[in-house]
Structure 1
Amino acid sequence: MNASIIDPLQGDFPEVIEEYLEHGVMKCIAFNRRGTLLAAGCNDGSCVIWDFETRGIAKELRDKECSSPVTSICWSKCGNQILASATDKSLSLWDVMSGKRITRIVLQQTPLQARLHPGSSTPSLCLTCPLSSTPMIVDLSTGNTTSLKVFVSDNSNGPNPASRNKCSDGSTSFTPTAACFSKYGNLVYVGNSKGEILVIDSKDGEVRAMVPISGGSVVKNIVFNRNGKYLLTNSNDRIIRIYENLLPLKDEVRALHELNENLSDLTGVEKLKAVGSQCLTLFREFQDSITKVHWKAPCFSGDGEWVIGGSASKGEHKIYIWDRAGRLVKILEGPKEAITDLVWHPVRPIVVSVSLNGTVYIWAKDYTENWSAFAPDFKELEENEEYVEREDEFDLIPETEKVKVFDFNEDEEIDIVTVEKDTTFSDSDMSEEELCFLPATPIRDVPEQQNKVLESSSKLVDRNNSGSPLSEDAIPNGHLTDHASSPVKDDAGGTRSKRKRKPSEKVLELQAEKVKKSSKASKSSKPKSKSLGGVSNGNGNRNSYCNELSDE
């Protein structure tokens, strides 16, 4: 999409609430890489997976050991696994297809956010941001944790062990720190409480570069767009900043090593800042200069052309949309409920938001009908007009052009198995093993409802056996079905196994009403005259005619 030629008033961004999803109290959401499945973490510790095409529940991940609210949810690159963090200080890794939990690790602090390593289809590492300690890399297979550095001291003696701020009474308090992986997971970008972005090697945990943020405010959110070219930060000064990534995506560690060697004459913080200036450069700043609102869960669109941020004010559900040039193009206003999470669909112009009461709202474009698109000569009328036909409009025109004969080989085999690579994703070579859809599983009836149906159906059969009239059209297919026993006698005298039919209570009530009506109709329509030659009395006109003949 070329943002320079798009009318900002007619852009490819959502405009209205198309639908909403309800299932318990949902707290956080995440799309899989293709946007076909939407996962939601609930307040009771379960994770619900929605099929985004049908808007139905495809899978529910639930475990008896975890009943605490889910704080974040994340998909693996191929969509086969889901990582969920909860307020009981646990990290749970789930297998999506089987619905079984792979592993569960309990940390010392509550993880506010957890992200799987993006460089592997079946990752064993994840990055977590605890509530009151430094970000850490967790090995899910062994449970080992590696704390990352969040500060670099001026005397170059090393980083401080934790992110601490001095309170007014002199005590120290921990500040939650934001962190995220780069596109391929080779680096970790950490935003600290001093308004700095630290670039850390994910393997050895060493700080390779540092980028100071103007204003020096606490960094609350930090996230990359899908292709890894732009980095977004949300600070306490109510400004969303976009940085352009100058490092090569796959060889970023080698590039950082070369930059450090070229700047060997500098040491300490000055060297890290010099390297950081060649890693990230400020691209845009977004803010509401009038209301000065704080931002909640800002993120990029799927193609990186749009930036959205939710208002963090209580009692309002507002979503601001900017283009990458910095212009505010739309403000979406929803119900009077605060926003807890916000995501943009990876491919389509759809935004999904979560309200404080646990409802998920789906925002989409407001499409208007354009009938002229179906035929080039179609003319839309705003009001009735008198039609004047042309002089030659209904003349017979002989066929002058012959039908085109297409030159193709009918015997050529067509490949319907091979999946072409999606150009939307730069690394679609893993699409063969990627999980995009889940098979639908039917939901069984509640046993209490089944018993009620069986009792009502048995009463209906007993009533028929006792002599009460029952028409054939009151029973499906004109046969009486015995629900107590599956074998039903066939017309030929044998037996065959038939599937038990369990009609609902509403169907049985309608059947009973039909029985009453048919019994009343049969009593009121008894014939008073004789029939002729065994002619049925079912047709009143025919019987009267026959009676007249008999009288004569």
Structure 2
Amino acid sequence: MNAPIIDPLQGDFPEVIEEYLEHGLMKCIAFNRRGTLLAAGCSDGSCVIWDFETRGIAKELKDRDCSAAITSVCWSKYGHRILVSAADKSLTLWDVVSGQKVTRIVLQQTPLQARLHPGSSMPSVCLACPLSSAPVIVDFSTGDTTALPVTVPDMGNGVAPPSRNKFPDGAPYTLTAACFNKNGDLVYLGNSKGEILIIDHKNVKVLAMVPISSGAVVKNIVFSRNGQHLLTNSSDRIIRIYENILPLKDGLGALHDLNKTIKEEDTLENLKAVGSKCLVLFREFQDSITKTHWKAPCFSGDGEWVISASASKGEHKIYIWDRAGHLVKILEGPKEQLIDLAWHPVHPIIVSVSLTGLVYIWAKDYTENWSAFAPDFKELEENEEYVEREDEFDLVPETEKVKESDINEDDEVDIVTVEKDPFSDSDMSQDELCFLPATPCPDDPQQQDKCVGSSSKLIDSNHSGSPLSEENGQNGQNGQAAHNASSPLEEDMAGGNQLKRKRKLSEKGLELQAEKVRKPMKLLKSTGRLSKTKNKSVVDQDSGNGLYADDGSDDY
């Protein structure tokens, strides 16, 4: 990297893999607004909701009509709805509390990404980016879909701009990525011509255009949590950060005012002039040495850090930059390709998804500070011999009066009001869904293997391979989920369906076992039904019971 690596102790960002989650073959993830719940889309068409505080599964959403892999998941503003897009061209809206399907719409193309309207608590409108067509606005209440323009419709001379790729039937085809702004009144769209279009999605009209210097294809576009910065990832292997100049609440109105002050005609030059007053290039991030392609870039919860994953196969590397442009950390995980990435909205935690379907949780490596427990506590790097003073333990009467506290003990303590976390949005609602009742593991032994290992601690966070890579090498090549992790329960069941582990008897247990053997042998000797056998098993002909002589003697 051409940017210097600063001291990693200066930043509060993740450093090591703290733990991993396992449930089927997970493909994509998304946090709710407070980071208390984590939704993960699986390859079998189900959506699993994890309680991120307990690392347990709170709910599983499964549609019988959908068995294809999930391509994206998105939470509503207050967490009551989840939008799931799948490879079978479907969009499914779920009610989180009841676990019921609200509605399902099938598009003409496979949606690679779908985002709910961020300005509504119970949204019925979403933005979908299909695989090989223009982004569409989907209205779940009516079922209507509206395609958004992917290029500037008119350059002032009545000639439409040429498209880079075309289908055999002549329909334009451009790779596009799109997202809502913070308020949801505008759509920011990046196309294959290296342009950022700002669109009024209600009137389906391009209001501004910001050209990218290299003209490369825009693969990802995403806003920061506070809406003040926009991130783009282009095919020229450069991540660009733009500063959003438009107001957060009424960006559409401000954009209309800019169009009136410049000119009313929607020419290309006027759209560029308006775009220059909407977005300003702030920073560029790239690896000038290895020329790495980037995947799943995003901001941290407070917007102070920018992260992205390496798109190279067989690598699980996460790059972290500060907003000044310095590379501060490279996180190296197991030798598995990374397919999705998310930063916790509140805490310095990163969650990544590998190709094998495991979800890794990266956290900061905290060191214990014992001096924080007492102000006069002194930490020693090595043992020192302590010599007490002669009068150290003498009883000395108090010579100084205890200072009176300024705290009024009669004041009532408020234990109900929840303090606002520093990274949260200002429009906090009491109706926001933050937690769900976690589903306990079933008592049925045949179902217990589904819960074992779902939130297991990693023994060695610096291990170069996956915790399950050695057992599941062949399954990982086929894109299957790895379920062969060794656990205490599976080791007990290796010999069959036995659930009890063989334990070594204590001395008292050995004595009781020997006493049980002596009694029937004495009885057989008194009745004459015991035959002498040396170093062989003694069999009672009537009962068929086998007894063993351990000492090799003839006396029983």
Q: Report the TM-score, using the length of structure 1 for normalisation.
A: 0.78
Counterpart residue type for residue 436 of structure 1: C
May I ask how many residue pairs the two structures share in their alignment? Answer: 466
Q: 1:157 to 1:95 in 2, by over 3 A?
A: farther
Where does structure 1 lack aligned partners over 5 or more consecutive residues?
1-5, 451-503, 526-552
Residue 486 of structure 1 corresponds to which residue in structure 2? none
Question: What aligned pairs does 1:159-238 form with structure 2 within 5 A after superposition?
Answer: 164-166=163-165, 174-238=173-237
Letter in 1 for 2:425: S
CA distance in 2, matches of 1:353, 1:189: 26
| 1:490-518 CA distance string (max 9 Å, x none) | xxxxxxxxxxxxxx9757998x9999975
- Code of the residue aligned with 1:79 in structure 2: it is G
Structure 1: how far apart are the matches of 2:89 and 2:413?
53
Rounded Cα–Cα distance in structure 2 between residues aligned with 1:272 and 1:187: 15
The partner residue of 2:440 within 442, 447, 451 is 442
Corresponding residue number in structure 1 for 2:322: 323
Give, in angstroms, the shift of residue 158 of structure 1: 7.7
Distance, in Å, in 1 between the alignment partners of 2:347 and 2:420 is 18
Deviation at 1:154, TM superposition (A): 5.2
Give the corresponding residue for 2:378. 379
Query: 1:433 and 1:158 mapped to 2: Cα distance?
Result: 51
Aligned equivalents of 2:443, 2:159: Cα separation in 1:
60
RMSD of aligned Cα (Å): 3.2
SS at match of 1:429: coil
Instruction: Report the 3-state secondary structure (helix = DSSP H, G, I; strand = E; otherwise coil) of the residue aligned with 1:433.
Output: coil
Q: Which residue of 1 is the match for residue 51 of structure 2?
A: 51
Q: Assess, with a 3 A threshold, how the Cα gap between structure 1 residues 248 and 352 changes in structure 2: closer, same or farther.
A: same
- 1:131 is aligned with what amino acid? L
Q: For residue 242 of structure 1, give the secondary structure of its aligned residue in structure 2.
A: strand
Q: SS at the partner of 1:203? A: coil
Q: Residues 81 and 95 of structure 1 are in contact (CA less than 8 Å); yes or no, is this contact kept in structure 2?
A: yes
Q: Could you tell me which amino acid in structure 1 is paired with residue 164 of structure 2?
A: N
Task: Give, in whole Å, the separation in 1 of the partners of 2:410 and 2:420.
Answer: 26
Rounded Cα–Cα distance in structure 2 between residues aligned with 1:517 and 1:341: 60
Q: Secondary structure at the match of 1:138?
A: strand
| Greater length-normalized contact order (CA 8 Å, ≥ 6 residues apart) | 2
What letter corresponds to residue 258 of structure 1 in structure 2? D
1:276 to 1:391, Cα distance in 2 relative to 1, 3 A: same
Residue 114 of structure 2 aligns to a residue whose secondary structure is strand
1:370–1:254 distance in 2 versus 1, CA, 3 Å: same
Q: Please state how far the C-alpha of 1:379 moved relative to its aligned partner.
A: 2.7
1:74-473 equivalences under 5 Å are 74-153=74-153, 155-156=155-156, 164-166=163-165, 174-264=173-263, 267-402=266-401, 414-430=413-429, 432-446=430-444
Q: Which residues of structure 2 form unaligned runs of 5+?
A: 1-5, 449-496, 520-556
Whether 2:13 is the aligned partner of 1:13: answer yes
The offset of 1:356, in angstroms, is: 0.8
Alpha-carbon distance, 1:98 to partner: 1.2
Is the contact made by 1:112 and 1:129 (CA closer than 8 Å) also made in structure 2? Answer: yes
Question: TM-score scaled by structure 2?
Answer: 0.77
Q: Please name the residue that 1:454 is paired with.
A: none
- In 2, distance between residues paired with 1:400 and 1:507? 66
Q: 1:370 to 1:258 in 2, by over 3 A?
A: same
CA distance in structure 2 between the partners assigned to 1:147 and 1:178 by the alignment: 13
TM-superposition CA deviations, 1:387-442 (whole Å, max 9, x none): 23334433323223455666777776655444444453233331x10111101233
Are the aligned partners of 2:89 and 2:108 in contact in 1 as well (CA < 8 Å)?
Answer: yes
SS in 1 for 2:164: strand
Matches within 5 A, 1:506-517: none
CA separation in 1, counterparts of 2:129 and 2:94? Answer: 20
1: distance between equivalents of 2:446 and 2:378?
59
Distance 1:92 1:191 in 2: 25
Residue identity in the other structure for 2:361: I
Q: Which amino acid aligns with 2:297?
A: P
Contact 2:301 2:423 in 1 (8 A): no
Amino acid at match of 1:42: C
Query: What is the percent sequence identity of the aligned residues?
Result: 72
Q: Choose between structure 1 and 2: higher helix proportion.
A: 1
2:67 is aligned to 67
* Separation in 2, partners of 1:21, 1:433: 29
Distance 2:91 2:513 in 1: 66
Instruction: Describe the shift of the 1:265–1:40 C-alpha distance in structure 2 as closer, same or farther (beyond 3 A).
Output: closer
Would the alpha carbon gap of residues 229 and 77 (structure 1) be closer, same or farther in structure 2, given more than 3 Å must change?
Answer: same
Evaluate the alpha carbon distance shift between residue 209 and residue 123 of structure 1 in structure 2; reply closer, same or farther with a 3 A threshold.
same
1:256 counterpart letter in structure 2 = L
Letter in 2 for 1:73: V
C-alpha offsets along residues 216-246 of structure 1, whole Å, 9 cap, x if unaligned? Answer: 0000000000010000000000000000000
1:318, 1:334 within 8 Å by CA — same for their partners in 2?
yes
Alpha-carbon displacement from aligned partner over 1:110-133 (angstroms, at most 9, x marks no partner): 000000000011000000000010
Conserved 8 A contact 1:185-1:202:
no
* 1:461 corresponds to: none
The one-letter code of the counterpart of 2:438 is A
Instruction: Determine helix, strand or coil for the equivalent of 2:428.
Output: helix
- Confirm or deny: 8 A CA contact 1:131 1:175 kept in the other structure: no
C-alpha contact 2:340 2:352 (8 A) present in aligned 1 = yes
Which residue does the alignment assign to 1:481?
none
Report the residue type matching 1:312 in the other structure.
A
Once the two structures are TM-superposed, the CA of residue 100 in structure 1 deviates from its matched residue by 1.3
Distance in 2 (CA, whole Å) between partners of 1:428 and 1:334 is 37
Q: Mean Cα displacement is larger for which, 89-98 or 420-429?
A: 420-429
- Rounded to whole Å, the distance in 2 between the matches of 1:43 and 1:284 is 36
Distance, in Å, in 2 between the alignment partners of 1:256 and 1:318 is 39
Q: 1:200 deviation in Å? A: 0.5
**1:370 shift after superposition:** 2.2
Q: Give the superposition deviation at 1:102.
A: 0.9
Asked if the contact 1:301/1:308 (under 8 Å) is kept, the reply is: yes
Q: For residues 391 and 407 of structure 1, what CA distance do their matches in structure 2 show?
A: 37
Distance in 1 (alpha carbons) for counterparts of 2:350 and 2:444: 36
